[in-house]
Amino acid sequence: DQQVKQNSPSLSVQEGRISILNCDYTNSMFDYFLWYKKYPAEGPTFLISISSIKDKNEDGRFTVFLNKSAKHLSLHIVPSQPGDSAVYFCAASGTGANSKLTFGKGITLSVRP
């Protein structure tokens, strides 16, 4: 029973264009959502997060949108750069500090020069 789903295994975009990575969740108890980026032979690196009380959070080229009624979030990267090519994981946690993270399977993003 996968509670966090990243249904598209891969995405390829042209440099300079927008990358949109999607994530769906089923557990309504999740109230904090995070995106991590992972390069080969490295651990996941925290990118951006959003609390369930917000519907948008922006940090430079990265914006995360949350639609609670649809149990859907998305990560927008604008403009995309070749260095953004990596695996992106969506993760969710429940209430309280340091609740465990539940991850999706990840999306491999390739940004073509």
Partner 1 sequence: ETGVTQSPTHLIKTRGQQVTLRCSSQSGHNTVSWYQQALGQGPQFIFQYYREEENGRGNFPPRFSGLQFPNYSSELNVNALELDDSALYLCASSATKGTAKNIQYFGAGTRLSVL
Residue 82 Cβ vs partner 1, minimum distance, rounded to whole Å? 22
Quote the tokens at residue 80. 């995309």
Q: Residue 43, class by beta-carbon neighbours within 10 Å (0-12 exposed, 13-18 middle, 19+ buried)?
A: exposed
- Measured from the CB atom, the residue of 22 and 49 that comes closer to partner 1 is 49
- Measured from the CB atom, the residue of 64 and 89 that comes closer to partner 1 is 89
| Alpha-carbon Rg for the chain in angstroms | 13
Q: Which residues bind partner 1 (CB under 8 A)?
A: 4, 6, 32, 34, 36, 41-46, 49, 89, 91, 93, 97-106
Residue 81 Cβ vs partner 1, minimum distance, rounded to whole Å? 22
3-class secondary-structure state, position 82: helix
Query: Shortest CA distance to 20 belongs to which of 78, 60, 72?
Result: 78
Residue 74 Cβ vs partner 1, minimum distance, rounded to whole Å? 17
